[in-house]
Amino acid sequence: MPDPGLSQNLISRVNLGDLLVRSAARSPNHLAVVDDVFRLSYRDLNSWVNRTAHGLAALGYCRGDALALMSTNRSEFLVTYFACAKLGLVCVPINLFWRQSELAYVLDHAHARGIVVEQASVEQLCEALPETPRLAEIIVIDGTAPSLGERRGLTFDSLQGGMPDDEPEVFVEDRDPISYLYTSGTTSAPKGVVSSHLAVYLESLGSALETRFTAADRVSALLPLFHTAQLNAIATPAIAVGATIFILRGFDAERLIELIERDRLTVTFALPMMYRAVLDSLDDAPRDVSSLRLAIYAMAPMPAHELVRGMEKLGCEFSLMFGQTELNPLSAYFRPANQLTHPGAVGTPSVNVQIAIMDGEGRLLPQGQSGEIVYRSPQVLSGYLSNPEATAAAFAGGWFHSGDSGHLDADGILWFADRFKDVIKTGGENVASIEVEKALYAADPGVAEVAVIGLPHERWGEAITAVVITKAGHSLEEADLLAKLRQHLSPYKCPKRIVFTETMPKTATGKIQKAKLRVELADLYLAGKV
């Protein structure tokens, strides 16, 4: 006799895997995913996911087990993620830039039973295995099964080979975790963000609404899928509406332009620095990019002059996604209509998200006053894995505390000032590093990338310091750039020094790692009082 609890659950549950099931039912022959190897219809993608889920079940994986996923962008990444969803497993995406200690910590902390790993990363994984005794299975994508003593090694093909492609029917609660997403730790170990099916499902639908995704869209996926921005702000919303995802292994301006022109992409998602490279390339050799309707950016602001240039060259609208891992990730959406009317803002609250500003005493502040950005939303994390203290602090006072500072203006638009840890305390004043960065971009078109940090200084406490990469073909001098900057900023906000460099430490998603810059340049002012 069928289990009545399972029957009811299958009828009414919220499960991320069902987004794929329903798109495959609506449009089975519509193109779902394209990468360097595969062109998969929605029927093909869903069948592959089901075979993989049955293969994992045959190994004994069941609801609540954690399966790590260590791969570059490829179809198998999405297949594994959705197979985990359908079985009620917890997917643990691995940042390929983690060192051995970070990798070992996450695998152990998440209690990962097994890992799906790309052949190219097997050696990196093996270095961490002595510290991960719980890891029982290693499933290799596009390679041979490793021989690792008591650990079971198998290939991704053998995992799902010969398995049925019918829908696995498993009891999964709406608030069961679909993923543990680990945030970067600068002074402590990474925190595991527990994200539920309900949270990611609603965020996916909300993102699809904000971006106006439809089945006719053809969307790029070039930022790492192991990061929530590419995975849950772009890929899962695209699958929810039955759009086509074009997966790239990384960013190359010429490759992206070629893809837009040849495959008529309609939506791109990239970092501001990537759009600059695309626009520079189009200056040198114009191409047909008329299919684009929307260019989405994230991680960093785009100055007004760059937005205007982008709109003219690409002939499409621009929008900014603002959020954080704990919101899975979209919390505010800076709509195309507001890009030039409110330059420097980050948008209005996304669908499903309520935003407020709170002071240090837990009081909500009126419009125009600055404080901590706090949220209420069904998209918010369930908590930090095995960290009740951090969870309690984040949820204090009935709001999720973002750790960001900002304010809401009279139009209800959110203005992000800075991460609290990136606010520079100089000479008794608090200066938002992002304000100085925006001014530097506006001061001279030769500024390709900039990071503003505070460094120890005997007189100022922290000295505002700009680290700048110069755009190819341009020449910048510190004195000239500072002179231009003084036309945009109050004197106390101007950097004491500008340091020119060719590279900066970055995360896998291209975010500049300011903590590392602070360490590298910690002694800059020890020799004198600037």
Label residue 303 exposed, middle or buried (CB < 10 Å: 0-12, 13-18, 19+).
buried
Average pLDDT over residues 38-66: 98
- Please report whether residue 235 resides in a domain: no
Question: How many Cβ atoms are within 10 Å of 409's Cβ, its own excluded?
Answer: 12
- Would you give the DSSP letter of residue 224? -
Nearest one of 94, 80, 88 to 48, comparing CA atoms: 80
Point out the domain boundary residue: 175, 195, 215. Answer: 195
* Judgement on whether residues 296 and 374 belong to the same structural domain of the protein: yes
How long, in residues, is the chain? 530
Q: Can you tell me the distance from the alpha carbon of 387 to that of 306, in angstroms, rounded to the nearest whole number?
A: 42
* Judgement on whether residues 24 and 172 belong to the same structural domain of the protein: yes
Residue 347 pLDDT grade (very low, low, confident, very high; cuts 50, 70, 90)? very high
Split into its structural domains, the chain has a count of 3
- Please report whether residue 231 resides in a domain: no
- Please report whether residue 202 resides in a domain: no
- Please report whether residue 208 resides in a domain: no
SS3 17: helix
SS3 25: helix
* Judgement on whether residues 45 and 182 belong to the same structural domain of the protein: yes
Which CATH number fits the domain that encloses residue 360? 3.40.50.12780
Point out the domain boundary residue: 173, 195, 217. Answer: 195
* Judgement on whether residues 266 and 127 belong to the same structural domain of the protein: no
SS3 497: strand
C-alpha neighbours within 13 Å on the C-beta side of residue 233:
33
- Please report whether residue 9 resides in a domain: no
- Please report whether residue 116 resides in a domain: yes
User: Which pLDDT belongs to residue 187?
Assistant: 45
User: Which pLDDT belongs to residue 251?
Assistant: 94
Q: H/E/C letters for each residue in 371-425? A: EEEEEECCCCCCEECCCHHHHHHHCHHHCEEEEEEEEECCCCCEEEEEEHHHEEE
Point out the domain boundary residue: 368, 391, 419. Answer: 419
Average pLDDT, the chain: 93
Residue 185 pLDDT grade (very low, low, confident, very high; cuts 50, 70, 90)? low
> Contact, 85 vs 17, CB < 8 A?
yes
Which CATH number fits the domain that encloses residue 472? 3.30.300.30
- Strand ranges, E, within 35-129: 39-41, 66-70, 90-93, 112-118
Of 146-160, 242-256, 405-419, 421-435, the one with minimum mean pLDDT is 421-435
* Judgement on whether residues 350 and 485 belong to the same structural domain of the protein: no
pLDDT at 306 over 80: yes
Q: Can you tell me the distance from the alpha carbon of 453 to that of 519, in angstroms, rounded to the nearest whole number?
A: 11
| Domain membership of residue 456 as a residue range | 427-520
Q: Can you tell me the distance from the alpha carbon of 74 to that of 95, in angstroms, rounded to the nearest whole number?
A: 15
Average pLDDT over residues 426-446: 86
* Judgement on whether residues 317 and 349 belong to the same structural domain of the protein: yes
- Please report whether residue 234 resides in a domain: no
Which CATH number fits the domain that encloses residue 27? 3.40.50.980
Q: Can you tell me the distance from the alpha carbon of 30 to that of 23, in angstroms, rounded to the nearest whole number?
A: 9
* Judgement on whether residues 31 and 135 belong to the same structural domain of the protein: yes
- Of residues 128 and 507, the one with the higher pLDDT is 128
- Please report whether residue 482 resides in a domain: yes
Nearest one of 223, 192, 1 to 105, comparing CA atoms: 192
User: Which pLDDT belongs to residue 184?
Assistant: 66
* Judgement on whether residues 321 and 342 belong to the same structural domain of the protein: yes
User: Which pLDDT belongs to residue 316?
Assistant: 98
* Judgement on whether residues 78 and 159 belong to the same structural domain of the protein: yes
> Contact, 164 vs 51, CB < 8 A?
yes
Q: What is the largest CA-CA distance in the chain?
A: 81
* Judgement on whether residues 44 and 142 belong to the same structural domain of the protein: yes
Percent of the chain with pLDDT strictly greater than 70: 98
* Judgement on whether residues 439 and 408 belong to the same structural domain of the protein: no
- pTM for the model: 0.87
Label residue 151 exposed, middle or buried (CB < 10 Å: 0-12, 13-18, 19+).
middle
* Judgement on whether residues 474 and 444 belong to the same structural domain of the protein: yes
